[in-house]
Chain A
Amino acid sequence: MFPKYNVIVVGAGHAGCEAAVAAANMGSKVLLVTMNMNTIAQMSCNPAMGGVAKGQIVREIDALGGYSGIVTDYSMVQFRMLNMSKGPAMWSPRAQSDRMMFAAKWRDA
């Protein structure tokens, strides 16, 4: 039923989704296996991305070709740059997300 893949990713949470696209964009044939395709890229906890230090990470993911930043841009309901009163090392983007749009955008064809 299945060909042999280069990379199998088990789980389609935030780590699994980024792993799948990263390997695929490097040129690997990828199989994403997850127990429930209706919960791909679920935000299990708060409907938000970024924040202090975490916002920097999302920017880095984007700079390396990952999709978390793009998905967040398409699904946010609010944006704030935190710590603007401090120096630029502390500036941190944070977005409030539409939980359902976030997951749908990740899956988007």
Chain B
Amino acid sequence: MTIESKISIRHVHKAFSVKRGSKPFKAESQPVYALQDINLEVRQGEFMVIVGPSGCGKSTLLDLLAGLTKPGGGQILLDGQAISGPNLDRGIVFQQYALFPWKTALANVEFGLEAKGVGRRERRETAQRFIELVGLGGFEHRYPHELSGGMKQRIAIARSLAYDPEVLLMDEPFAALDAQTRETLQSELLRIWEATGKTIIFITHGIEEAVYLGQRVAIMTSRPGRIKRVIDIPFESRRSEEDLRSNPDFVKLRHEIWELLKDEVSRAQEQEKSKTLDAYGEGKSSAKGGARHG
């Protein structure tokens, strides 16, 4: 198991120090334990979905995988090598697209290729090919503000795929989209995944989305985040199934995950509440977590 793992997350911890107290002199550094002893093995070419209540540390985990931050303890291996920093072997897709507004769709997709040192000519051709892969041929010269949310997310996906990372990290990529667009993009993502064979780690709040997309679904506890259970989703080729969502097995799995998640969600809500109260008591709002959307 260990040997064939694409990504191994072993005993990973992460804590943030949050300054509290109303007066600067009284400020004491208080750690917020975001992740506690995370263990997860992701196989080559696997579609792994992570679900968990708001504020449980999902984005924190993804930042660690991207190499944007370092774990406080434990290690993360990619092909058996410890991750030392950001690299083009991993691509991230964010919920808020993170497209460069001063670049056209095409130039946005070219951005990672440029960072990779690909020549101008080849860059253009590759970018064009990936824009077509995500079904946006004809829109390459539009600026992000001229595209709909769904189109922007397609471009963001094309940008991450274009530089050919081995692993695609996706942080609630479809959460800001309307239901129809989301369903379309979900099945397109599956198509792209099947076509490219990438390893995907996909974070979501949506249980249905998790069951529909994932080969396995990891459920996290409320903060400090741990992996509570990993559930196998045994459907073959999801796209061929006519209406997978009403399949009784699908419904059963969805319910099982919901059962696992619901205590964690209420605990997370308790945490948020007490944190807000704390912040009131100390006359200063705490770190960002309290105000984050769900």
Q: Do A and B come from one complex?
A: no
